[in-house]
């Protein structure tokens, strides 16, 4: 199956091409084509995983590589770029996760992209989204990008797939940026939000991508290659560790930090996290794809794939791993606190994603390679479950605002059940998947912290606090959405359970969210034996996971239960009623700070929000506030200042120089015309006059010439005698 692994991304790409060029007028055929493409990719991916497990941990040091295309070859025969594939334990597990989650999202989308609306007579009509086929083409291309990235055999190829996903995220976040006349499921306000959200995501991630690309350039300059099997060898890593970029700073540290920049952008880590909460303006399946199976997972996968660089940088005493750990831990806590104060159903989950990605990044930064990779896998299942469940709620209620929900447990029992399963997994409650993977991260940081590593102890404290807040805001979300009485009678009255094509994928994801963590439970330890035992390329030592510690595991559960308990006391004991203010509003300035996301958008991002008050009716363009942050405004002001300086000073000096040049040129021309040319002309005139006089004595007669000569001689003789 390794030889056929290149087909895994090809199938979704083929589905994209078929939909775009042939099936775009047939919605059902387009949807089935997309599902068939990811299903075939999954069949091959499962076969690859089975063969990889049979190969054992040795596959880590001797990955299977193949070349599909090789070009850009220099005369010496050295290949500058090739399109190929590489299969190692990490790639095999990722292929299983991505294809499984994508398949569930694709099937779910068949029902989600159908919209219901009531006509003037009260009759309910269900129609396909006007861009139904286009949506399935886009998500197929999205899956192609992620699957191609996972099996890439070199960093340049990985970067190309990385950018394909960036394009797809832009297209899908802004999917509803144009409202057609027959579209009833979106309003003019959403088209504005979708337009700016897609631009915000695209431009913010480009910052990280540019930093990442600079790192690739430096890596190629230093090693002459971007192939994983070439760069990640003991000799090459040693070369990067000894070559100095700056005094005392080896190139491996610089390159590792630049690669981290790519992860910060793609995986929405602080300070480039601002794009992800607004990415929900696209259809909910897009949010599930971005948050679980593709976009943001790629950033964490990048660090895991280039982990030998980070280990080598740490061995030289460089700060790369420490920076990774601090960025991840801070982001985990930072985003978790914001999630407590959001009312939008999907926005809470978006900040949850940012926080959980922080756990993964922090794990890799502390050296917990297995724990970070494991949490990347389990998180994909329960986060896709949560987003699709949220989409099911929105599909049935028609709003994202949790303050307009409540009491949906009876109306949507299946959705409520699977959502609670996902929330328990996210909160880290055993035996659900999130408990096993998150506990490994906390246990590793705690173990290192108690051994005298201050940074790791700080990381543990921040992650533990993040776990408490995570359990709290998920409990808040559950009670605001599914329990108590409905706070908006119209929305709750029309709520209904989603069709089977939508809840069946939720059931499958709920199964994985429940049991997937058991694969690395004590006594099984599949991830440790398969992914970690063989080390990684260039690093032969096994990547051993921290042993299961009942004390640490128990404390993690207590922290989560404390968050759940506090959430129940505030939101479950006495459920909110219609018009009631959020109980946390008593926190005053702290509540405002959290609700406004620490004003990070106002500081340097772009604020995209619904305005309250009489300025505009809900759903109209005027009801949306889009405002540039202070950093963007400063850049705009500075650019205008530079323009004014260029116009007034630089252009003024240039124009002055031109004026002086013209004056000097005019004076020079006058001197040339009147003096230089006058002297030359005078010489010519005098010569002409002399010539005119002398020509009179030129008679051609010898006697005249002799007379002149004798006369001249006589004159000279006379003068001589007088003297």
Residue 297 in contact with residue 263, Cβ under 8 Å? no
Query: Given a cut of 80, is residue 116 above it in pLDDT?
Result: no
- Summarised one tens digit per residue, pLDDT across range 195-232 is 999 999 999 999 999 999 999 999 999 998 899 999 99
CB 9 within 8 A of CB 147: yes
Lowest-pLDDT choice from 315-324, 466-475, 479-488 = 479-488
Phi/psi for 483 (5° steps) reads -115, 170
Query: For residues 471 and 464, is the Cβ–Cβ distance under 8 A?
Result: no
* H-state helical runs in 120-242: 132-151, 155-173, 188-223, 228-231, 234-242
What is the mean predicted confidence (pLDDT) over 631-638? 87
Q: How large is the C-alpha radius of gyration of the chain?
A: 37
Give the list of residues 6+ apart from residue 308 with CB closer than 8 angstroms, or none: 232, 237, 536, 537, 538, 539
pLDDT value at 117 more than 70? no
pLDDT band (50, 70, 90) for residue 543: confident
- Full DSSP string of 629-648: -HHHHHHHHHHHHHHHHIII
CA nearest neighbour of 584 among 332, 276, 339: 339
% the chain with pLDDT above 70? 96
Mean pLDDT computed over 29-36: 96
How far, in Å, are 79, 110, 274, 475, 690 from residue 265 at the CA level?
A: 30, 31, 10, 29, 90
Average pLDDT over residues 108-129: 75
pLDDT at 126 over 70: yes
Q: How far apart are CA 312 and CA 307, in angstroms?
A: 9
Sign of the alpha-carbon dihedral angle for 662, 665, 671, 672: negative
Task: State the chain's mean pLDDT as an integer.
Answer: 90
CA distance 575 to 528: 44
Task: Quickly state the pLDDT bin for 610 (edges 50, 70, 90).
Answer: confident
Using CA of residue 280, residue 284, residue 286, residue 292, what is the dihedral sign?
Answer: positive
Confidence label for 363 from pLDDT (cuts 50, 70 and 90): very high
What is the pLDDT confidence band of residue 74, given thresholds at 50, 70 and 90?
low
Per-residue pLDDT, averaged over 368-393, amounts to 94
Do the Cβ atoms of 680 and 688 come closer than 8 Å?
no
pLDDT tens-digit readout, 33-58:
999 999 999 999 999 999 999 998 88
Query: How large is the average pLDDT for residues 348-358?
Result: 96
């Amino acid at each position: 199956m390794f030889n056929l692994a290149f087909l895994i991304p090809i199938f979704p790409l083929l589905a994209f091409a078929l939909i775009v060029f042939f099936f775009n007028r047939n919605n059902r055929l387009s949807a089935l084509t997309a599902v068939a493409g990811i299903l075939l990719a999954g069949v091959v991916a499962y076969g690859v995983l089975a063969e990889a497990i049979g190969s054992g941990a040795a596959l880590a040091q001797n990955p299977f590589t193949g070349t599909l295309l090789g070009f850009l070859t220099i005369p010496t025969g050295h290949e500058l770029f090739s399109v190929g594939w590489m299969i190692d334990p990490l790639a095999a597990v990722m292929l299983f996760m991505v294809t499984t989650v994508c398949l569930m999202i694709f099937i779910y989308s068949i029902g989600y992209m159908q919209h219901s609306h009531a006509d003037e007579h009260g009759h309910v009509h269900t129609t396909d989204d006007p861009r139904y086929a286009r949506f399935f083409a886009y998500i197929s291309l999205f899956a192609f990008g992620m699957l191609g990235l996972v099996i890439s055999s070199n960093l340049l190829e990985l970067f190309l797939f990385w950018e394909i996903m960036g394009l797809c995220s832009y297209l899908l976040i802004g999917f509803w940026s144009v409202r057609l006349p027959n579209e009833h499921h979106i309003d003019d306000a959403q088209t504005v939000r979708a337009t700016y959200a897609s631009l915000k995501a695209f431009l913010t991630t480009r910052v990280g991508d540019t930093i990442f690309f600079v790192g690739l350039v430096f890596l190629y300059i230093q090693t002459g290659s971007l192939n994983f099997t070439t760069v990640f060898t003991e000799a090459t890593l040693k070369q990067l560790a000894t070559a100095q970029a700056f005094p005392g700073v080896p190139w491996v540290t610089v390159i590792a930090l630049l690669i981290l920049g790519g992860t910060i952008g793609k995986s929405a880590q602080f300070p480039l996290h601002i794009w992800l909460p607004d990415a929900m303006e696209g259809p909910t399946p897009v949010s599930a794809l971005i948050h679980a199976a593709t976009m943001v997972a790629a950033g964490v996968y990048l660090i895991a794939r280039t982990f030998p660089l980070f280990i080598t940088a740490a061995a030289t005493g460089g700060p790369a791993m420490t920076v990774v750990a601090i960025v991840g831990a801070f982001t985990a806590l930072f985003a978790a606190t914001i999630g407590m104060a959001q009312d939008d159903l999907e926005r809470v989950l978006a900040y949850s994603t940012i926080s959980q990605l922080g756990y993964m990044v922090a794990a890799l930064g502390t050296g917990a390679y297995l724990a970070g990779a494991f949490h990347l896998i389990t998180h994909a299942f329960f986060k896709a479950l949560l987003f699709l469940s949220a989409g099911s709620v929105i599909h049935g209620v028609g709003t994202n605002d949790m303050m307009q929900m409540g009491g949906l447990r009876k109306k949507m029992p299946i959705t409520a059940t699977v959502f609670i399963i996902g929330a328990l997994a996210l909160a880290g409650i055993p035996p659900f998947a999130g408990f096993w993977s998150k506990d490994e991260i906390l246990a590793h940081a705690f173990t290192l912290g108690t051994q005298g590593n201050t940074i790791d102890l700080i990381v543990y404290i921040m992650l533990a606090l993040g776990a408490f807040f995570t359990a709290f805001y998920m409990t808040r979300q559950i009670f605001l959405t599914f329990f108590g009485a409905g706070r908006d009678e119209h929305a709750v009255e029309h709520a209904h359970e989603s069709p089977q094509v939508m809840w069946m994928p939720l059931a499958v994801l709920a199964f994985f969210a429940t049991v997937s963590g058991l694969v690395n439970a004590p006594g099984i330890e599949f991830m440790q034996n398969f992914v970690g035992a063989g080390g990684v390329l260039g690093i032969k030592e096994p990547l051993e996971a921290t042993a299961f510690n009942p004390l640490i595991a128990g404390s993690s559960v207590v922290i989560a239960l404390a968050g759940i308990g506090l959430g129940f006391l505030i939101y479950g004991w006495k459920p909110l009623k219609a018009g009631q203010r959020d109980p946390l509003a008593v926190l005053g300035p702290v509540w405002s700070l959290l609700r406004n996301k620490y004003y990070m958008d106002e500081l340097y991002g772009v604020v995209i929000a619904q305005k309250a008050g009489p300025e505009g009716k809900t759903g109209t363009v005027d009801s949306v506030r889009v405002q540039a942050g202070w950093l963007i405004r400063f850049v705009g002001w500075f650019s205008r200042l530079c323009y004014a300086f260029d116009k007034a000073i630089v252009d003024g000096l240039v124009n002055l120089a031109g004026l002086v040049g013209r004056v000097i040129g005019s004076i020079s021309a006058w001197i040339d015309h009147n003096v230089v040319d006058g002297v030359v002309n005078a010489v010519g005139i005098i010569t002409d006059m002399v010539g005119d006089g002398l020509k009179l004595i030129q008679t051609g007669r010898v006697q005249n010439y002799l007379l002149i000569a004798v006369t001249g001689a006589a004159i000279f003789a006379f003068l001589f005698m007088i003297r």
